Amino acid sequence: MRITESADLAGTPDEVFALRATEAFQDEKCLRTSPREHTVAVDEQGERTILRTTRAMPTHNLPDAARSMVGDELIVDEVQDWGPPAADGSRRAQVTITVHGAPISLAGTLEVYPTADGSHQALEADLKAKVPFIGGKIEKAAAPAISHGFDLEAEIINDWLAAER
């Protein structure tokens, strides 16, 4: 299932990236999703910056059929592999999300590019559930969580940038 999301951000791509690439920001992003526990890591590797989060998420909001397949907790890994800035300041990341013990994953790109008022963020990704016959239903059920996470990240960025000004 193709996922496309976009949001306007209040800062330049450099400001947005400087904020996003902190453990404090990644920690807040995780906390706002109400995990049972989480870890964050920011690793600089040459011109690349790798952002990793792992969240233990309760499954009490999942339908009974899904919960019976995955148990009472999902471990969700997210990796954003950011490249160096382009000449115009834009940045692009390869994004992957995997769920331990569940045949669902997301892979795509997240791009932040300059606009007259700050920047614009766009996600283009494929959400895949590798389950015969019902994979499409699982993807449709998971898609709102991906959209919510994208919106939440943009909201935190805008809130934090507004507080800094």
Is the domain covering 2-164 a CATH 3.90.800.10 domain? no
Residue 65 is predicted with a pLDDT of: 60
Phi-psi region of 89 (alpha: psi -120 to 50; beta: other; left: phi over 0): left
Domain ranges of the chain: 2-164
Looking at residue 62, the DSSP 8-state letter turns out to be: S
pTM strictly above 0.85: yes
Q: What pLDDT is recorded for position 72?
A: 79
E strand or H helix that includes residue 150? helix 135-164
Contacts of 80 (CB under 8 A, 6+ apart): 20, 50, 51, 93, 94, 95, 110
Residues of the chain under the 70 pLDDT cut: 62-70
- Which residues share a beta bridge with 3? 125
